[in-house]
Structure 1
C-alpha cells in the first residue's frame, strides 16, 4: 500500500482476512512453535500488526498463496523475513511490480502508451483492459480495484507460461512519402 492511497472497505476486509488466515494456517501447521513464539494474546495481536504493516504492499491473493508455499517448504515456523521472500516469490519469479506500484506506473504513463517504457508489459495490458480513462480519473475510487483484478489475472497467466509483448503501432507503420505529382495535378484541376 502506498502512503496516502485510500483502499476500499472490501479490499481492507480481504486483506484482514488474509492476515487472519495466514496466522490460522501457521498455527495449525506449526502448532508448538507457533505457541512458543506467539503464546499470549498480546504477542499475537502485536505480531499481526507487525506482519500486516510489512505485508500491506502485497494483495491478499499473494499472501494466501505465499502461506501455502511456506507451509509446503518449511519444516519450521517462518520468520517475517522468510515470509516476505515467499510473498515476492508468489508474485512470481517473473519479477513484476506489486499491483499498487503497477497502478501508479499506469497512472503516470503517457501516450502513445504502446511506446511507453513499461517496467513490465502486463502493466500496459492491465491498463488497456481496465481503460485508460478509468485509471486516470481521480474521481473513480473503483479504478484501482478494477486494475488490480486484471493485473493479478494477467500475473497468473504469466505464471502458466503466457508471454505478453507490446507491439508498437508506430513502429509497424511504414510511412510512404507523399506523391507530389498527385498534389500538383489536384491543384491544377481545382485551380489552386
Structure 2
C-alpha cells in the first residue's frame, strides 16, 4: 500500500512491524472488495491513482483499530452488506460489539462484578474479562464507591480488555492508569456540581439566598451530602 503511515509503536522495529500489518490489512480489505464487487469496485476506483488515494484515506480512518479487526470487518461486510460497503460501513463493523464475542454489555458486567460473592479468578464468571476489569478497577472501589464514580472506571477497563479479546491480544497486560485518575476526578467534580446546583435550587425554594446565607448553605450541604 502506498502512502500509508505506521500505527503507534514503541521503537523502530515495532513501528515497521505495525506498518507491515496495517499494509496487509488495508490491501486485504481492498482485495476482498474487488473480488466480491468487481464492477462496482472499478467504478469506485477507476484508476490506480484513485485506488492508492483511497487506501491512504481509509488507512487514516481505520488505524485506530487493530489490523486483525480491519480484515474481520471486511470479511463480515461481504457476508452482511447488500451493497458495496463504503468507509463508514467498514468503520461500523470494526467497532466492538460485546455480544459477538460472548461478552456482557458494560453495565451488566459491572453489576456482575459488584455482586459476585467472591473475588476469585476461579469464580464462575460469565467471562474472565469481567474479573480482570474488576480487579483492575479495585474491589474496594466497586464495593464502596457510588455507581456514578465506580462505573466509568470499570467501564474503561472493561472496554480495553474486551478490545484485547477481540484483537487476540494479551488480556492480562497492565492497563495504563493515568487517564483513569483524570476520569475519576472529572466524574466526582461533575457530580458535585450537579449536587450543589440542586441544593441551591432547594434553598431558593425555601426562601434562602445561597450566596447571602453561605453558612446556612454549607450547613445544609453537610447534612445532605456529608461533605
Give TM-score, length-normalised by structure 2. Answer: 0.44
Change in CA separation of 1:36 and 1:92 when aligned onto 2, cut-off 3 Å: same
Q: Which residue of 2 aligns with 1:22?
A: 29
SS at match of 1:39: coil
Q: Which residue of 2 aligns with 1:63?
A: 70
SS at match of 2:172: helix
Change in CA separation of 1:130 and 1:16 when aligned onto 2, cut-off 3 Å: same
- Structure 2: how far apart are the matches of 1:69 and 1:124? 22
Change in CA separation of 1:79 and 1:13 when aligned onto 2, cut-off 3 Å: same
Structure 1 unaligned blocks of 5 or more: 97-110, 137-192
CA contact (8 A) 1:66 1:86 kept: yes
Query: Shift of the alpha carbon at 1:38?
Result: 0.6
- Structure 2: how far apart are the matches of 1:81 and 1:34? 16
1:36 and 2:43 correspond:
yes
- Give the aligned length: 115
- Structure 2: how far apart are the matches of 1:18 and 1:65? 9
Query: Shift of the alpha carbon at 1:76?
Result: 2.1
Alpha-carbon RMSD: 3.1
Give TM-score, length-normalised by structure 1. Answer: 0.51
CA contact (8 A) 1:15 1:60 kept: yes
Query: Shift of the alpha carbon at 1:22?
Result: 0.2
Q: Which residue of 2 aligns with 1:157?
A: none
Cα shift readout 1:68-123 (whole Å, capped 9, x = no counterpart): 110011132111111111111xx224578xxxxxxxxxxxxxx9742372324364
Q: Which residue of 2 aligns with 1:150?
A: none
Q: Which residue of 2 aligns with 1:92?
A: 97
Q: Which residue of 2 aligns with 1:129?
A: 172
Q: Which residue of 2 aligns with 1:6?
A: 9
CA contact (8 A) 1:51 1:80 kept: yes
- Structure 1: how far apart are the matches of 2:77 and 2:66? 17
The structure showing larger relative contact order (alpha-carbon pairs under 8 Å, at least 6 residues apart) is 1
